[in-house]
Structure 1
Amino acid sequence: MAQRDARMRRMTVQSGLGFIGLGVMGEPMCRHLATKSGARVVAYDLSPEPLARLADHGVVAAASAREVAADADTVFVSLPSGRHLDDLCRGDGGLLAAIGRGQTIVDLGTSPLSLSRELAGLFAANGADYADAPVARTRQAAESGTLAITVGAKDEVYARIEPLLRCFASEVTHCGDVGAGQIVKILNNMVVVQTVVALSEASAIARSVGIDTTALFETFAKGSADSFALRNHGLKAVAPRSFPERVFSTDYMLKDISYALEMAEAAGLDTGGAVNGRDLLMRASMQGHGAEYWPVISALMRPRTDRPS
């Protein structure tokens, strides 16, 4: 711990930090960065409300993303999708026109592998470094600073950003070169979706024969069907049928599993389980549940009306 703190002090005395994207996850991450890093943090978001709240924690509001880039050696980006990231970087007046030698871009969102590697090459041509560091866990974990982060970056880049990431994460794992963090995060979510599909199916069958879902899942937790997904998504969402908004939404998870299927298609792999999970998320979104907590897919599992009598 003392060694990490010493590294933090050495790097932040001379380094300004930037943060772009202050949504549900971005705002608390930026707050932790400002209060724990010892560095000056300048931030930008389309909405003025989070900037106003963060001002109480010493965060300086910028008028644009380019202004953040002009004022920071390391720029963290937390956006909803790869499309938003691409627009920020390659759009008119984007970061590629503003970031230069000696600066580092850290993508905290979940983005396609191909985009991560392409952007890394474009920023490298400007003399800048790039890291993908998608965050995992819940909004509450972002608030408490206990996120899990998988990082794709060169060794020397990881060594620089790792103490900063630990300002808002309790688990930081270097998975390999650029893109590796995205691969691990995306495949993790693919597995979680399929686990929740199985839990949802088990719940629906149990209810049809008179077994309470909570009792079923609590019994699962004592045996070989136990998992993080069971204890969190299952017992806290599927069983009580609680699917609030402003948590990890159906549309966000649909995006992530679509990225996994893009990788599978590129590799020529048939991944039927992931396709089924994607289709359920798509149905939920089309039925108006896109903004709700994504285990709402369990609500789609109702008895067919065309069953033989």
Structure 2
Amino acid sequence: MIGFIGLGVMGGPMCRNMAVKHPGEVIAFDMNADAYALLEGTGARRAATVAEVAQRADVVFLSLPGGPQVEQVCLGPDGLAAGPRRPAVIVDLSTTTVASARAVARQLAERGVVFADAPVARTREAAQRGELSIMAGADQALYARIEPLLRYIGSDVTRCGEVGCGQVVKLINNALVFENTVALAEMMVLGERAGVQPAVLLDAVSKGSGDSFVLRNHGRKAMLPREFPEKSFPPEYALKDLGYVLELASQTGLAAHVVELAQRYYAATASGGWAGRYFPSVIEIIDRGDGPAASGQQGPAHG
């Protein structure tokens, strides 16, 4: 039996795909009772507690807000490894620090449970379609066991190395997206002020070497129409991930100045009226000159 804990924006669609595609049973848990609505018609069973998932499931997937929640669900007094019956495997689909992933793996191993980090990338729509990109950190034997299950939710699944390496790749992926979004936003504002309509700019650049995933998705779908909905990926989430990247950079002796600049831009976005809104809203901060450069935190004003 598969267990699934965390039925949020990404977890709900992932659990639904597992429930539809897995030939065996799926048991799910979330603290929000409304989250189970997405699983209606799939046959997925609803668990009353994390402990019930631990008692019944052999492999448990997690989709949680961050490292502290993963640690609590795995290792807390009412967690998956607390009772006499424990799952054999826990796979974390969340984004956490690399150190957290490796620490959880060590502590679970002491209790006879193996752990893999397998953070996911792409959009909620991709999660609904089962077309996520998944970056897994696991030894070869464990990866061989979980890969068929990850294929229920991902069209691209990559073993990145031993435990923790999935988080390394995911954090680098996210940092590149956040940095690229700031750079594109700045150039869209520059182009418009210099007389080029944003739609024309994106069309032209998309045909050249400046094309990117960010341009085709965040640029066209959010920054061009200036639509930044709530309940998408807000600047606060970007700040969490960038903080994780800077922690990893510090641990490895890298001075990650571009990450630091992106962090300041998203901090300005979150404090400048766009908290809780889609993170490409950073273009609004740049357009009105309220970015970190304008406040004197990073060189001469140019934002």
Aligned to 2:129: 144
In structure 1, the partner of 2:70 is 85
For residue 17 of structure 2, what is the aligned residue in structure 1?
Answer: 32
Return the match for 2:237 from 243, 246, 252.
252
C-alpha deviations, 1:259-295, integer Å up to 9, x for none?
1111111122111111011111112112342321111
Matching residue of 2:141: 156
Between stretches 203-212 and 188-197, larger displacement belongs to: 203-212
Q: Map 1:127-276 onto structure 2 (within 5 A).
A: 127-276=112-261
Letter in 2 for 1:118: A
| Contact 1:138/1:248 (8 A) holds in 2 | no
Corresponding letter in the other structure for 1:49: D
Q: Is residue 55–residue 61 contact of structure 1 (8 Å, CA) maintained in 2? A: no
- 2:216 and 2:210 map into 1 onto residues whose CA distance is 10
2:298 paired residue number: none
Q: Residues 2-17 of structure 1 correspond to what in structure 2 (within 5 A)?
A: 16-17=1-2
Asked if structure 1 preserves the Cα contact closer than 8 Å seen for 2:234 and 2:276, the reply is: yes
- Identity of matched residues, %: 43
Q: What whole-Å deviation, never above 9, does each CA across 1:133-173 have from its counterpart, x for those lacking one?
A: 00100010011111110000011111111111111111100
Q: CA deviation at 1:257?
A: 1.3
State the aligned residue count. 292
Question: What is the letter of the counterpart of residue 92 of structure 1?
Answer: P
**Equivalent residue runs for 1:12-91 within 5 Å:** 16-91=1-76
- Tell me by how many angstroms 1:67 deviates: 0.9
Unaligned runs of 5+ in 1: 1-15
- Asked if the contact 2:16–2:38 (Cα under 8 Å) also holds between the matched residues in 1, the reply is no
- Shift of the alpha carbon at 1:90? 3.1
Q: Which runs of 4+ in 1 moved over 3 A?
A: 98-102, 303-307
**Greater CA deviation, 98-107 or 239-248?**
98-107
Note the C-alpha offset of 1:102. 6.3
For the Cα contact (< 8 Å) 2:54–2:86, is it kept in 1?
Answer: no
| 1:3 corresponding residue in structure 2 | none
Q: What CA distance in whole angstroms lies between the structure 2 residues aligned with 1:154 and 1:108?
A: 16
Contact (CA 8 Å) 2:135, 2:158: kept in 1 or not?
Answer: yes
Aligned to 1:278: 263
CA RMSD of aligned residues (A): 1.7
Q: Quick one: distance in 1 between partners of 2:21 and 2:170?
A: 25
Structure 1's 162 and 187: CA in aligned 2 closer, same or farther, altered over 3 A?
same
Query: Counterpart amino acid of 2:281?
Result: V
Which whole-Å deviations, capped at 9, do the CAs of 1:43-71 have from their partners, x for residues lacking one? 10011122244142101011111111111
What's the offset of the Cα at 1:88? 1.9
1:122 aligns with 2:107: yes
The residue type equivalent to 2:202 in the other structure is F
1:51–1:142 Cα change, 3 Å: same
Could you say if the C-alpha distance between residues 99 and 245 of structure 1 is closer, same or farther in structure 2, counting changes exceeding 3 Å?
Answer: farther
Going from structure 1 to structure 2, the CA distance change for 1:99 and 1:21 (only over 3 Å counts) comes to farther
| Per-residue deviation, 1:249 | 2.2
SS at match of 1:96: coil
Q: Secondary structure at the match of 2:102?
A: helix
Which residue in the other structure is 2:81 paired with?
A: 96
> Secondary structure, in 3 states, of the residue corresponding to 1:233?
helix
What secondary structure does 2:81 align onto?
Answer: helix
Q: Is the 8 A contact 1:102 1:127 kept in 2?
A: no
